[in-house]
Structures are given as structure tokens and as C-alpha cells.
Amino acid sequence: MSLAHLVIFGRPGSGKSSLAERLGADFGYRLIRTGELLREAVRRQDSLGRQVESQLKAGQLVPDDLIGTLLETNLVAGNQERLIFDGFPRTLGQVAILERIEERCQLSIDAYVDIHLSLELAARRMTGRRVCPKCAATYHLINRPPRVAERCDHDGIMLISRTDDSAEVVAIRQQIYEQHSGPLLAHYRQTMGAKFQEIDGSGTFAEVYQSLCRHLGLVG
């Protein structure tokens, strides 16, 4: 196993967060999930949380400068852990933020992976999505059910639906993804060569996970 730091891209419902979690559990990655960090800030009602609450509820992107500050406070130089960035970068403006993080924390991203899924399939998948309000583990009622119905595998807490998983907000989030992902992925496709990989996300969780591990050279 050779890879260190990863970025995982994918539209809402592509399964990227579940895949990142599983990679974290199997290979010891620390997940850097901007969405979860923002939801935590909202739960704490700190100054960032109060600033971003309405944007999260509406499915709108949080301004790039706030994302930069959020990551600066969560990533320190001299980090020894292997990281997966999930949900960041999301805009071309955030590409520069990631570059600054790489420089400041002396880390370099080894692979950029896009989990590719059609809008139709993703929308269907999102209706069954559940999350743990305590540890943020992600489940799906059909594709990735918890061991005990509606309870988190890790802490037994009752699972919930995210408030921004309602049909109207999902439609907005998909629209925003369409708007930003084209230029963002084109940038990495053009500049990163073999470090950029696209993976078909339409199979079962197990199939996609296996394909992801194979692409990353994590299994033979």
C-alpha cells in the first residue's frame, strides 16, 4: 500500500462519503469532510456555524474563504496521518485553497478520484440515505443497511435523515454540483494526469469499493 493523501469527488448520492469511510476504516485514513465539519459548527452554534447555517439548510455552497478558514483550523502542519478530503475542493476557487494547505502542511495529494454516477441514479439513492447524528457514519436502507435496523453500527444511536436530503434541497445541491464539477474535474483531469481517476459508481457498494481499491493500488 503506497498511497498517502486522497481527494474523493462525486455528486450528492454518489456514495463517496460511504466509500471514504470504508477506506478510512480499512486503511487508517483520517477523513476531512467539510460538510461534516460545517454541520458540527452549526450544532455548536459557534460563529462559523451561525454564518453557514442558512446556506447548509438551503443546499447552497458556503463561501470559499470560510472553507479555507475551516480547514486551516482543522489541519496542522506536521500532520502524520493519511488524509482523505471528502467534499472539498468543490469549486475552482477551492483548488487554490487546497494548494495552500499542501504547502503549509507539507503534504501532497497522491490521487484524485471521481466517483461517477448519473443524476437519475444518484437521486434514487438519496431517498434511502441515513446518517448517525453522533459519529456521522453514512448508511443506505437498501445498499448499505446498518446491522440493526435504523441504528448506527458504531454507537447504536438512532439514525436520522439529513435535513438537506429533502427532495427540494437535493435538487438544488445537484444543480450546484452540475455547475461547479465540470470545470473543477476538467482542471484536475488536465493537470494531474494519471493521478486523476474516474470510477464508475453505478454498481453495488461492494463492487464500487473494490474498484476504488484496485484503482488506488490498495489491493492486488
List of residues contacting ligand AMP (CB under 6 A): 12, 34-35, 38, 55-56, 59-62, 67, 87-88, 90, 94, 164, 173
Q: Is 163 exposed, middle or buried (0-12, 13-18, 19+ CB in 10 A)?
A: exposed
What is the closest distance, in whole angstroms, from the C-beta atom of residue 29 to ligand AMP in the complex?
Answer: 16
Q: Report the residue number, 47 or 80, with the smaller CB distance to ligand AMP.
A: 47
28/81 Cα distance (integer angstroms)? 8
Q: How far is the CB of 61 from ligand AMP (least distance, A)?
A: 4
Among residues 9 and 196, whose Cβ is nearest to ligand AMP? 9
Whole-number minimum distance, CB 217 to ligand AMP, in Å?
26
Distance between CA atoms of residues 105 and 75, nearest Å? 7
Residue 63 vs 145, nearer CB to ligand AMP:
63
Shortest Å distance, C-beta 27 to ligand AMP: 21
Query: Which of 10, 146 has the CB closer to ligand AMP?
Result: 10
Q: Closest Cα to residue 18, out of 8, 28, 6?
A: 8
Judged by phi (left if over 0) then psi (alpha if -120 to 50, else beta), residue 10 lies in left
- Residue 132: which of 24, 36, 27, 32 has the closest Cα? 36
